[in-house]
Amino acid sequence: MKKKLLAITAIAATLPAAHAVDIKAGNWDLSVGGNANTFYTATTCSGDVVSGVALGSKALACGDKSKSTTIGNGLLPSMVNVGAKTSEGGYDVSAVVGIGVAVATDSSIAQNSVVDVRNAYFTVGNKDMGTVKMGRDYGLFGLHAVLNDMTLLGVGSATQGTQNGRVSLGHLGAGYVYAGTYGQAVYTTPSFGGVNVDVGLMSPVKPYAQFGEAEASGPAVQARATYAGQGYKLWAANKSQDFTSYRMSASEVGGSFGSGPFGLVANYQTGKGVGLLADGDQGNVKSTNTFVQATYKATSKLKLGVGVGKGTNDGTPYGANAAATASEAKNLRSNQNTTVAAYYNLTTSFTAVGELGNTTSKGFDGKEGKQNSIAVGGIFFF
């Protein structure tokens, strides 16, 4: 199960570098930037062992122990981003490549040489025609939820099974599904009265072998509409892909709102076969994800916040492979994470972070596992 999680929980969105080095070379604008982040995370686990991808059960949350300690990445990997853009012949063209690395491993001698390539794409377009993007990047479905989660600068759900060799989970699997990284071709319309529409074809992905499925021969489809107004943003999205015996299909609505020092984010997802952390990772099971976050900027440097997310299965497997998915559906009822946090801008480039978290997993058999966590560290953008 740990290997399975490591394979499917590369964390969501890389923030744009706040202080990238910009280089002008003729008509080209080049940029190099990124982030380095590390957190001391201590966890305690109690209650029952809950089967399935139970993020709060000690098997995953604490490395199958009652306590664990990790000094590693938060929700973001440490990354270097390289970009280039120019205007030629009436078109704006650009390219981005982003490469991430993990801080923590469970060995003092093993090579830490696995790289995490989140972004490798080009774009072509202009203000009249819109923009075409082709390459590897984050999916459209779920991305706004991740980008607006305050724990993007911190840790959130501190599942040791993913922090060793990768990253923490924020509210992934306990509030929203991971946006995923795909080979893709996406068209973004020009803005119409503040509305932008993205429509994308994604390279199809395989669910897990225990469900006896294969990816579709045609591409997966994702679409998203976003409306930005004064102090708020609203979005709606959909994703779908055919597997051998069922169709993954999910919808999402959400919004972010700000007024003075106050901020609010709410997001809701529902669908069949969408998975917990990755497409199809629970088979053809219906699930819902809810995420609500409130923040308050107490001073010019200090932001306080609380985020609550929950992912719930309805317990009913669907389709021809119902028997294969029954154990996953019946075992794991829900994952829930609550994170209370403080983010302090020590400098314009460095944010110090302190978080308290609780992740709880429940099974349909009545079992319940809990993880309590504390995380202290920071993130530096360059």
Q: What is the pLDDT of residues 211-221, one digit of tens each?
A: 667 777 788 99
pLDDT at 174: 97
pLDDT at 320: 42
29 CB-near residues (< 8 Å, 6+ apart): 22, 23, 84, 85, 86
Residue numbers of the chain with a pLDDT score lower than 70:
1-19, 208-212, 315-330
The pTM (predicted TM-score) of the whole model is: 0.90
Distance separating alpha carbons of residues 298 and 261, to the nearest angstrom: 7
Distance separating alpha carbons of residues 283 and 243, to the nearest angstrom: 10
CB 14 within 8 A of CB 146: no
Residue 245, classed as helix, strand or coil, is coil
Instruction: Please choose, from the candidates 38, 44, 91, 51, the residue with its C-alpha nearest in 3D space to the C-alpha of residue 66.
Output: 44
**For residue 365, which phi and psi values (nearest 5 degrees)?**
-85, 5
Q: Which residues share a beta bridge with 69?
A: 42
